[in-house]
Amino acid sequence: MKSGLLNVRKLHAHIFRNPEAKSASLLLSERDLRFAAECERMRVDRNGSVLSILFIKLAENHNLPQDMALLERILEGRLRVTDTPGILEDGRVVVLLPDTSSDGAWKVAADISEVYPLGPTRPECEVIIYPDKGHRREKLIDGEEVAPNGERDKSTVCPPLFATPIPRWKRSLDILGGLVGLIASAPLITVAAIAIRCTSRGSIFYGQEREGWAGKRFKMYKLRTMVNGADEMKEYLRHLSHQDGPAFKMKSDPRTTPVGRLLRWTSIDELPQLWNVLKGDMSLVGPRPLPTSESQSCTDWQRRRLSVLPGMTCTWQVFARGDVSFDEWIRMDLQYSRQVSLWGDIKLLMLTLPSLVLRKGMR
């Protein structure tokens, strides 16, 4: 019976494994594990079930090949056929536990941990639940549950396994483009800053918290285009939004100053985001980051857009700004996230300027 289950598990691993992989290990590579995790995530988004993700980190000085082989044998004897184990490049073993509650995942973690002697040789376990419905992220260390703090960490709402690694070419393009863009646009930003200072009270720059890659929060910068107290007025104007869904968009926002209307019309107000690009919070190309409150109001499938770096421009801005429903907007973002490429980014950057000249959509 045990050999039969082992054969089924090998078949299950073979389904998700890259055909070019030569390893006979039941642990999927990080690349194949991410693919399996994305498949499970889409299944959960469709049927409303739950996915628990168990992270296992072997103790220091106990992570040799023989130690990993022991852990693999333990997993073979404990996991179900439908569970998917894999290994990350940092050495952590990850187990996808579909249709498993938080309590069930911790039971698996405890069973694995109890095989090892009590003490520092026991592996450290962490469980993340998707979708996150308020579960605290806790760890199992030396057989004891430890919570990092009393409150759930809401700043990372996208399990790291779902976040696509940032390609080196993309980061290189962002650094080069961000640096050149900031230098080239400095005179324009300076003139705009003087105009803002001379025509309205308040700061020149405006920073707002947004959700970005893997749900991490950051402050996105713009030139201020609205009157003081604009954020407080937003809820009173929400019923006038021209965009459905959680995103707030108005064609003629009464909070905008005269200079602000010109800056928004030409998108000059967006230029300070080149600093966000240099910092690594954003990319030149990627889904536009939503304010935190709007992003957290998105449904689970819509939040898959957080798997890639947010950007200054993307498919929606170029081809359909203000002309499609929120769901279609998100679908365009997801399509981009599945097809990220150097040529695709360059093409969108080249098309962004003409789309601004044609003045398409709401700003």
pLDDT digits (tens, 9 = 90+) for 35-92: 999 999 999 999 989 999 999 999 887 778 888 999 999 999 999 999 999 999 989 9
Q: Do you know the residue count of the chain?
A: 363
Alpha helices in the chain (DSSP H): 2-16, 30-47, 65-78, 102-113, 168-199, 230-237, 258-266, 273-279, 292-296, 315-319, 326-338, 342-357
Q: For residue 246, count other CB atoms closer than 10 A to its CB.
A: 18
Q: What is the dihedral of CA 208, 211, 216, 221, to 10 degrees?
A: -30
Q: What is the pLDDT of residue 28?
A: 95
What is the pLDDT at residue 359? Answer: 54
Peptide bond into 165 cis (omega under 30): no
Q: Which of 135-139, 316-320, 322-326 has the lowest mean pLDDT?
A: 135-139
pLDDT given at position 5: 45
Write down the CATH superfamily of domain 2-160: Reverse transcriptase/Diguanylate cyclase domain (3.30.70.270)
Token pair in block for residue 265? 């019309």
Domains of the chain, by residue range, sit at: 2-160, 168-357
Nearest-5° angle of CA 171, CA 176, CA 182? 120
SS3 153: coil
